[in-house]
Structure 1
């Protein structure tokens, strides 16, 4: 394992809203409609500018799923001149590109046509599968129906979108469910070849949520899940863990080869109690390995040209910059 390459990207994290139509039993990110429920355009622009100045290459746009289905949310969109949050996000993706950052959007469930539209302004996109099991934590979350999420993964493959997905471990699924979830992802990737990375994320209980008193996944169980992922997934898919939620220095030996996006500018708004490690800390964590920065679109997809032609100049420019930094 010594000398194996471990990758990461530098990003800014932009949660446009925490309003969400799902009501997952473990989530503390979701907030009700009200004042401050939507990031203002000027706030987003300032973060994008700060990110570009700090050498970030990725703008990670995320928000609650289908917030427009929540009563009263449309009023806040109307105040900034929009009727649909996807239109707002689309325009912000274009601004990110202008400022020198590659957008990666994780907007929850999207239709084929919505994915096709966002492909024109995104270098990569994502959706956590979480689990193929039907679990109590997802009872009031229509967007977490496994069939719906699998369909979107397949649509992204048909559209040749470099894609991120993953498992949330410890939310009520069994080890056999994790195996089934990983085998499902592997099957989809063998068909379409578009999955760049699979995140294996450990559940962290959130006080005040229905699952706030539940125990997190054990270290042994999490290690076994990572090892299972590496054994089941094709070799060209990176296995990623969040370095702010798990003991990365320990789990690297289980087959992890990517540490995801870390930000010198923004916090992890979904897990704000767990700060991102600074780059120097990443170097300490990966001692004995080769740590390399990457873009949100992996090199093989750059070589294949799996991106909209309008993104080519920025992708090539940033790819050259990270390659020079990695020398």
Structure 2
């Protein structure tokens, strides 16, 4: 069949569904086989004072890199070492404080089996993830994680498909069990992902995104409406704090308040800030998470917040645009 030849839609979909069914069945069967060995593997990883070194050849190596990355981002220091490179010097990256996780479906990968005796001679504990517990890898291992599958999803039962899916799923189960045992929390995850959306939400503080005190709009209680509007326009927040004689915020006046006054027919020349402000304005501390500010704005349907320090003084202000610029919302 050439690349431009039409395909049979029904058979293509049937083959795809069969593939997914075979791989789902492989994972279900593997889950049913989990035993005390898995718990022992988790315990070995928890007691490891060094790093968890993952190794594997070919497709198992690709899976191993992903497992190492998942472990490292969820509280278990981990790295990937290529077994062929290990035979040419990279074995020196492994120390007696480490734990090795070797992955091979057959358990007989030549490059991998060549370094197993050296790993054991170093006294490094060895976890095996293999489909053949009686293989060379399985016999050398302290603990075997059984990732055997009945058949590959490949129609010829050749290409690693169900077996690599099983390895990947076992790696995820291992990582999740470890993060739970370590008490790994969302903020811990965020510290490993400071550039991601979760990192921004869980690490960004109000003080990181607020407008500083000198840029926070404020007027006195006796300020006229025109004075309030000049301050709002000058600072560009869409609102101004109203402060008492000691400089402590006692109210807030917004663009929306102005529209409501106009609609109500109020004599704008006769009012002062103290008469038209909203008392006890919504505020937040500078050490609060920026995402808390976003939640507060959404809950009360407001666009601006005053930032108040521990002494009750106005130390900044922010609005929804500040949070959007910081990609918190």
TM range (shorter): under 0.3
Q: Which has the higher contact order (CA 8 A, sep 6+)?
A: 1
TM-score (norm 1): 0.28
From the CA coordinates, give the structure whose radius of gyration is larger: 2
Query: Could you state the TM-score of these two structures normalised by the residue count of structure 2?
Result: 0.28
